[in-house]
Amino acid sequence: MPSDSLTPIPTPPAQRWRDFRVQGIPVLVFVLAILCVTRIWQRELVAPSATGQVEAIQTQVTSPQSGRLATLSVTRFQRVSKGQTIATIIPSDPRLELSSIDAQIALIRARLEPLSGQQRDIVNHEKLLLDVLLERAKLSASRVRVELAKDDTRRAEQLFQEKLISEAEYDLRRKELERLQVEVQETAKALDLAQSGLEKLNQVSQQSAHIQELATSSSLLNSLEKRLATCVSNTLSVTIEAPISGTVSFVFRQQGEQLRDGDPILTLSSETSDRVISYIQAPFSREPRLGMEVEIRSRSGHHESGLGKVVNVGSQIESIPTVLAATRASASSVQLGLPFAVSLPVGLKLRPGELVDLILRTAPDSP
């Protein structure tokens, strides 16, 4: 029987799969390995031109004046929005300052003595002016005491309703508030009388040939008036709002603490940034220029990357921060470099403070 007429024996699928595993898979794996190595070589093994750090934007919230930190409504790592109330400060008791002003006014009055004839009107003018300032100081102090007494009465009313204090003690607080309110009214009347007398004396003094001599104590009196106005404005609580949106990084003070003018309260850190700060170590073979394209590579697990542009270049060589130095500087050596800033591309999600690798690409055409 001729062999051409024989039916070929079919190859079992298991045998075909075995042949493919033995002959095809190694070739396929080899090709894939070459492609992966090439990709990794192009992406990872190209030496970066510099190390950059995503710019961290921080602002420190400080106390605008001395006083007690009445409320602190945020905690560490809490997110806040711009304009959100984060703290309130009750200024220090202004009565001490008012007492100091009263003492200075009394001292000036004691030094003024009648001189003679035409100068007596000048002395009377200065004494009356000091009386007006003194009455203003008394009125301001009385108003402060009224505000404090109102707060004390409100607290006493709450305690009385909760049956924590007696009715007699609550009545005592109310009567003290009423007494202080009457004191404010009487002081205001005395101030009106003093100001009226001062206006009349001014009309007489304007006709005197010695009116210029009234300026002998004007600078000191103006200073006292400014201090008095400042003291009165400090009687109200101060509200502090968040200057930027971000996260509370550090809290330096706690509720109830006494603060001085300029004391730090907390630090706010922005959650976003739009620049990367880096340095080209000197001596450098390639200088960054405005508009130059820069590849930004993340060091995170996903190794995201994007193209940015040089937006600013420093004007002088500076010392490179240790975290951005190419090699760790010894205690006796400092690495120097030229600082520059790179814009962050849209869609590249990087955290402020994160380290990235930068590769300088092309420079813009010269004009």
Residue 272 to residue 268: CA distance in whole angstroms: 12
* For range 126-130, the mean pLDDT: 68
DSSP 137-176: HHHHHHHHHHHHHHHHHHHHHHHHHTTSS-HHHHHHHHHH
Q: Give percent of the chain with pLDDT exceeding 70.
A: 71
Q: What is the pLDDT of residue 312?
A: 93
Architecture of domain 50-56+272-360: Beta Barrel (2.40)
- Candidates 220, 285, 269, 255; CA nearest to 58 is 269
Strand bridging mode 293-298 / 58-62: unpaired
Q: What is the pLDDT of residues 334-355, one digit of tens each?
A: 788 899 999 998 888 888 988 9
DSSP single-letter state for residue 2? -
Distance, CA of 4 to chain centre: 94
The more confidently predicted of residues 177 and 102 is: 177
- Find the angle CA(49)-CA(55)-CA(57) to the nearest 5 degrees: 175
Of 102-106, 108-112, 140-144, 156-160, minimum mean pLDDT range: 108-112
Token pair 């409504």 is found at: 73
Whether the per-residue pLDDT at 364 is higher than 70: the answer is no
Which amino acid would we find at residue 15?
A: Q
Q: What is the pLDDT of residue 266?
A: 94
Domain map (residue ranges) of the chain? 50-56+272-360, 95-233
Phi (first) and psi of residue 112, to 5 degrees? -85, 120
Strand, helix or coil at 17? helix
Q: What is the pLDDT of residues 117-127, one digit of tens each?
A: 455 666 566 67
Q: What is the pLDDT of residues 295-315, one digit of tens each?
A: 888 887 677 888 999 999 998
Of 166-170, 233-237, 306-310, minimum mean pLDDT range: 233-237
- Find the angle CA(309)-CA(311)-CA(314) to the nearest 5 degrees: 125
